[in-house]
Chains A and B, each alone.
Chain A
């Protein structure tokens, strides 16, 4: 028996193999739940109920899906180029920081102008933060994985400093928090959810065309496949790296804007909820394909929402959702082998 490469893989094959691997992940975590003396079927049903059981729960799930969609879109631009941006957390925070900085400079602007300006500020903040590792990578091939990650900690400590010291709200009676935004810096609601969902959907459309039907998007994909091909095709490699990673960071920064103005109502260290890391899983599971990101993000948001429900209902720690998420990715990663290779029993 030997292993040989598969010639061609159809979309049907991909869907079949992905589905099998997700089922395997569910079975594995089901066994895990069984060990914890719970009925896996009840727990999974509880998760679905917790995520979609009532209109209120559906809204909570969607509110969790919004940052995941936007961040996954951002991460996938960089991943498409094989630039491992795991600095989403920091870029989200710095985006929110730039937006808040603007708000504090010009607190009295009207709501539409204010929100627009904060929107742009957040993109620039997140984009510039990502541009630092991109510059090093483009210039000296510095390992971007570690630099982007280290910059998460730097950003987090910076925001902690603002929250606990420099920007601490004196009106909060010693409680460490930053002064909440006025009404002019809060995202309006549409159909019961802040309009971050409209932004997310709009971005999906824009990113779909950018990634699949624009020159820049194509250059990014070529560069991801092979740097030599990119050079040969006359693509300006450093410039493409920096543009793409700026965009990647800008989208993460935008998540910071949406979370700050739509959910928490101020800049805070707890803004990201780990989205920068979850988005790594979701964008890889989506095969870095834009429309799929929407579906996967909603499912993952449901997983998080459902897990917080089963924590109350069954006493299973909410970290169970993180474990389930990574198990799904483990199985999907492993299953990709069967997309690329097959066993041959011929001599």
Chain B
């Protein structure tokens, strides 16, 4: 048996870094900016969170450092693309290269270090009273570490924010039609900056989950392409935070299925299993592009710099 409760619980854990990054990128893309620097911002968050955690022994400071690192990466991107109207694709790619270099630079002395006992204890799984007793799903959903609960909360919170608040609707307007939003006296640049930075902070937290909780030690190339899978998950989730929850855990499951199959009697090529998340990402993207529909399409202003004088 592979698909046991422990498998689903582990899939949620493996999907949590993806969830944070996907939610971050949804916020960014909703403002009309395609930031391909997710992988880089995750790297920056992973290394800064880990280092600060190691130095200060404080989980809160570690998380804060990770969020700030991700946001600072996003700030470089935002300044280039919003203020200076640089090409978004190239700016994002450069941010990924920068973040990867930054992490391996800072992380050089950290290779092989593991997180402190205090931090490990802080992020140990906690059973939610009552809810964890629900048969079947209780042990899967509600016997997790605090970071996972934060993920649930964030997805719901962002869903309400985007669909139920005026600020969230303004955000949609900025991403869909910045010129119209501008006429309606919504500050386009401000909205873009705020959401790109928040998005970066979430990506940083996603990276920190890997280095602080998931691994929990420092290793080179710790994100291993998860940032890119998150970019694809945004399309998979059709820019919807609730669907992101589902997509991230699904891909978390794909990520760990290899270990599970190894322990079972099934004989499947290990390397083929390792390819699965990437192959499925390609498959998902192709299928989605194949069945184009109105609600599946990206914000209309995605990738196009807004310049009031050209309106």
Contact = CB atoms under 8 A, between A and B. Distances in A.
A319 B98 contact: no
Contacts of A154: 275, 278-279, 282
B114 interface: no
Interface string B278-293: 1101100110011010
Contacts of A319: 101-102, 104-105, 108
Contact residues on B (Cβ < 8 Å of other chain), bracket: 35 or more
A4 B104 CA distance: 41
B245 to A, nearest CB: 20
Given A157-B271, A157-B275, A317 B105 contact: yes
Given A136-B289, A153-B225, A333 B271 contact: no
Interface in A1-45: 2-5
B229 to A, nearest CB: 8
Contact of B101 (A5, A141, A322): A322
Mostly helix, strand, loop or mixed at chain B's interface?
Answer: helix
A137 to B, nearest CB: 9
A106 interface: no
Given A147-B282, A319-B105, A333 B94 contact: yes
A149 B279 CA distance: 11
Contacts of A281: 94, 97
A333 to B, nearest CB: 4
B124 to A, nearest CB: 32
A149 B228 contact: yes
Given A141-B289, A147-B282, A317-B108, A329 B94 contact: yes
A317 B104 CA distance: 8
B231 A146 contact: yes
Contacts of B231: 145-146
Contacts of B76: 330
B278 A153 contact: yes
B86 interface: yes
A143 B289 contact: yes
A229 interface: no
Mostly helix, strand, loop or mixed at chain A's interface?
Answer: helix
Given A2-B309, A319-B108, A323-B105, A142 B286 contact: yes
A330 B98 contact: yes
B157 interface: no
B81 to A, nearest CB: 9
B104 A147 contact: no
Nearest to B225: A153
Contact of A334 (B84, B229, B281): B84
A46 to B, nearest CB: 17
A158 interface: yes
Interface in A127-167: 136, 140-143, 145-147, 149-151, 153-154, 157-158, 160-161, 165
A228 interface: no
Interface string B79-115: 1100011110111011101101110110010000000
A140 B101 contact: no
B97 A146 contact: no
A307 B12 CA distance: 41
A86 interface: yes
B69 interface: no
Contacts of B54: none
Question: What are the 5 closest A-B residue pairs judged by CB atoms, nearest first?
Answer: A322-B101, A326-B98, A161-B271, A337-B84, A142-B289
